[in-house]
Structure 1
Amino acid sequence: MRFLSILCVCAALLPGVLPGALSAAEITHVMGTTEVPDNPQRIVVLTNEGTEALLLLGKTPVGAASSWYGDPWYQHLGDRMAGVEVVGTELAVNLERVAMLEPDLILGSKKRQEEIYPQLSAIAPTVFVVNATDFKENMKLYARSVGMEAEGEALVSAYDADVARLHSALGENADDTVSVVRFVPGQLYVYRHDSFSGVVLDDIGFKRPEVQAQDGLSLAVGKESIPNMEADRMFYLTYDTGNGEGTALESETLKDPLWANLNVVRSGKAHKVDDGVWATSQGILAARAMLQDIARIYGVDADFSSE
């Protein structure tokens, strides 16, 4: 009953405006235009990618959708999320928990939460990105939403500068063809240009194997397609829901003669990387962690910028 009362009171307000909030800006986003309060302090974020953007801006949300891995946050976030309330997952937001946190701003994604946008907007001003693919443009929108547009632009520029430094440090290896393979329970995937890892690898300037050098996120393949994964370098990752099926598929595939006979495997240039960083998080902190992984694997010092 308490939750229903909160929603009823909020629904009676002007869309996206809280009582007493000072409107600093009108933010245009995929769902329309939303008036956001000046310097929001109680932010709820409903995507892992959005959480990383906030953290890099120096703002810790009061509530967030849990990470796909971790208990409840990704390992690469360290202790940044200490004390943050879990408000469900990206695909199952707990509206009552969101309302009880009394946020003054909610950040989410049309792809994940379009159906509950009206309820969220009744609780607090709500800004949505389209999806998590374009983490750089999303960062700029999140930054505008919290009154930190200049800081957001600077952070994206710092990422671009880190990419340029890595490209330079890689030397002739910057022209390598790199393959990205992912083990998911019951299915083997290769990842393409429009995937999160694909965007970062494209930024660096790497080439991709023919089947991966295509538009789109990913392609489900069978083990007979393993020879098409050949490359100068390979990065492979495993998504496991906790029942061990993803890990079992990884183990089974790595023992397959087709895999063992790949030149990239025989030369020791196939590297296991973290799935949270390379696939599921999709945020700017994960992108920076990807750059660091690549520098470490290639043994180069890119002199990355500090956060």
Structure 2
Amino acid sequence: MNRRITATTLVLAATLGLSACAGDDDSADDANETSGESGTRTVETAMGPVEVPEDPQRVVVLDTAELDSLITLGVTPVGAVQADVNAEFLDYLPEDQLAGIENVGAIAAPNLEAIHELEPDLIIGSKVRDEQRYDELSAIAPTVFTETVGAPWKENFLVHADALNRTEEAEAVVAEYETHVAEVTEAIGGPEVAADTEVSMLRFIEGGNTRLYGRENYIGTILEDLGLGRPAIADEAEDGFAVEVSPEQVDQADGDVIFYTSYGAPDASGEEAAVGGPLWDDLTAVQNDRAFHVNDQLWFLGIGYTAADQILDELQGHLAP
């Protein structure tokens, strides 16, 4: 069941047309202050306070999490960066909600000229990806950055919602997610069963080492929300993120359940060579038919509530008795 909320109910208090009546004495020192005269609001960001339009109409997003956030909140951006090496935008999002979005380059390498041509009134991204381009981006349109990506996705979502002036919708999305988590936890047997189920996350990377994911990342937080157990190697991850191994060390991914995927083509990532080989066949999860291939864009790239909602459904489908 798809529980994603498309938020459409917010009635804005003012419009950009009121800016002609703005005075010079209004203060915007407090975060999130609304100025009816100026038609702008102040949003706290990783780069400091930023004045954004009350009702942004032409938004460009610089990463996949931002794209998920906008679609979740019922906003279609005018421009977005490419999702991965094989796909333009996130393939789990409804095609009709992606229609008309212009490709503005790659993650961490956006095409500034293409962004400028779209005449955006708001740009949303992150400091970790594009700090060195912040001044150039800000010269095009007000630019809202979060600090980093991945594990703090819930906090980042609230910043995205604030920039869009859709905080009420965001609160509804968060509440629905929390309800869904509780339902899935019960469906898979309750907290005790979840804690006793060691879930391993394995990702083959085209052009890089294979990753065994730890706890401090997007998918790790979802598993934590469900109270699922993790194999010991998850706690050996550098900075909690991941342990990098070669495809020939795939046996380190063993657990009660394995979810695996590839960033890039399976034949180039090492997935095809590893899966079905002797090490793979000896894994406990494989022998018990509990190794499941998943969509990389959904489980690892989306990093938002629409993706999380679908992941919860898939987890329930695989883990419920």
TM-score where L is the length of structure 2: 0.81
2:55 is aligned, of 39, 62, 69, to 39
The residue type equivalent to 1:89 in the other structure is A
Deviation at 1:57, TM superposition (A): 0.5
Deviation at 1:299, TM superposition (A): 4.5
What is the match of residue 231 of structure 1?
Answer: 255
CA contact (8 A) 1:52 1:285 kept: yes
1:181 is aligned, of 194, 202, 212, to 202
Aligned counterparts of 2:130 and 2:297: Cα–Cα separation in 1:
21
What is the match of residue 221 of structure 1?
Answer: 245
What is the match of residue 91 of structure 1?
Answer: 108
Aligned counterparts of 1:67 and 1:274: Cα–Cα separation in 2:
13
Runs (5+) with no aligned partner, structure 2: 1-36
What is the match of residue 105 of structure 1?
Answer: 122
2:142 is aligned, of 103, 112, 125, to 125
Deviations 1:261-299, CA, capped at 9 Å, x for gaps:
112101100111111111123222222221121112224
CA contact (8 A) 1:209 1:228 kept: no
Aligned counterparts of 1:194 and 1:100: Cα–Cα separation in 2:
37
Taking the TM superposition and a 5 Å limit, the aligned residue runs for 1:66-85 are 66-68=82-84, 71-79=87-95, 80-85=97-102
CA contact (8 A) 1:163 1:291 kept: yes
CA contact (8 A) 2:219 2:300 kept: yes
Secondary structure (helix, strand or coil) at the match of 1:54 reads: helix
Tell me if 1:254 matches 2:275: yes
Distance verdict in 2 for CA 1:87–1:282, change over 3 Å:
same
Which moves more between the two structures, 264-273 or 180-189? 180-189
Tell me if 1:141 matches 2:164: no
What is the match of residue 202 of structure 1?
Answer: 224
TM-score where L is the length of structure 1: 0.85
CA contact (8 A) 1:25 1:36 kept: yes
What is the match of residue 245 of structure 1?
Answer: 268
Aligned counterparts of 1:91 and 1:221: Cα–Cα separation in 2:
25
Which moves more between the two structures, 183-192 or 128-137? 183-192
Distance verdict in 2 for CA 1:197–1:243, change over 3 Å:
closer
Identity, % of aligned positions: 35
The residue type equivalent to 2:92 in the other structure is H
What stretches of structure 1 move > 4 A for 4+ residues in a row? none
Task: Provide the aligned length of Structure 1 versus Structure 2.
Answer: 277
What is the match of residue 60 of structure 1?
Answer: 76
Aligned counterparts of 1:281 and 1:82: Cα–Cα separation in 2:
18
Aligned counterparts of 1:23 and 1:168: Cα–Cα separation in 2:
46
The residue type equivalent to 1:239 in the other structure is Y
What is the match of residue 291 of structure 2?
Answer: 270
Distance verdict in 2 for CA 1:223–1:93, change over 3 Å:
closer
Tell me if 1:191 matches 2:213: yes
Aligned counterparts of 2:38 and 2:77: Cα–Cα separation in 1:
19
Secondary structure (helix, strand or coil) at the match of 1:297 reads: helix
Distance verdict in 2 for CA 1:196–1:294, change over 3 Å:
same
RMSD: 1.9
CA contact (8 A) 2:137 2:143 kept: yes
Tell me if 1:296 matches 2:313: no
